[in-house]
Copies of this chain bind each other. A is one copy, B any other.
Amino acid sequence: NIRNLAMEKVASTVLFPCKFSTSGCQVSMLHTDKGDHEEVCEYRPYSCPCPGASCKWQGALEQVMPHLLNQHRSITTLQGEDIVFLATDIALPGAVDWVMMQSCFGHHFMLVLEKQEKYDGLQQFFAIVQLIGTRKQADNFAYRLELSGHRRRLTWEATPRSIHEGVSSAILNSDCLVFDTSIAQLFAENGNLGINVTINMC
């Protein structure tokens, strides 16, 4: 017990380097602060931003776009600040992800529409935008997702996520555009749902 207390005393005063120091991070901190820092450390490697977590790729931010272009060739890219993200066959059963890229302001954004069956009998759709970039870069933008139909409109406006944090926690907390099957059907045409996506600088 005496030795443990001594160790704790040492650990509470000694500064440790970030585990990404070999990647360039120069931050040193108390042991108790390491977890929080390393979670958001800008030198932490980026994971593949494709939803579903089936791709295990990790690498530097600069390598993300080359990875997507090489390994995920089926993803469509549209140019411009104001585009339509068309999700086809939204009535497909089970969990489905729709993904597309939008390029504007010299950046690449990944648009994600995810259908989940969280509750018995209730299918929910989650739509969100993430920047292929850092959190700081993401804070310079705002995005708008809009469903538009006959005398009806549903709009969600927010700050894009950085792919460094990803979208899963936002989807878990409904911090995105959330709608159920009834709403999807109100706005869909022939089983396809068009989501108007607008990116702004702020």
Contacts and interface: CB of A to CB of B under 8 A. Distances in A.
A151 B155 contact: no
Contact of A152 (B118, B157, B179): B157
A178 interface: yes
Interface residues of A, number: 25
Interface stretch (A50-58, A95-103, A119-127): A119-127
Contacts of A118: 122
Contact of A179 (B151, B173, B178): B178
Given A119-B120, A173-B182, A180-B178, A156 B157 contact: no
Contacts of A152: 156-159, 175
A168 interface: no
Interface in A8-55: none
B151 A159 contact: yes
Quick one: copies of this chain in the complex? 2
Interface in A99-123: 118-122
Q: What does DSSP make chain A's interface, helix, strand, loop or mixed? A: strand
Contacts of A159: 151-152
Interface in A149-199: 151-159, 173-175, 177-180, 182-183, 186
A151 B156 contact: no
A186 B175 contact: yes
A119 B121 CA distance: 8
A180 B186 contact: no
A174 B178 contact: no
A153 B151 contact: no
A154 B176 CA distance: 9
Given A154-B155, A173-B182, A178-B179, 16 more contacts: A119-B120, A120-B120, A122-B122, A152-B158, A152-B159, A153-B157, A153-B158, A155-B156, A155-B157, A173-B186, A174-B182, A174-B183, A175-B182, A175-B183, A178-B180, A178-B183
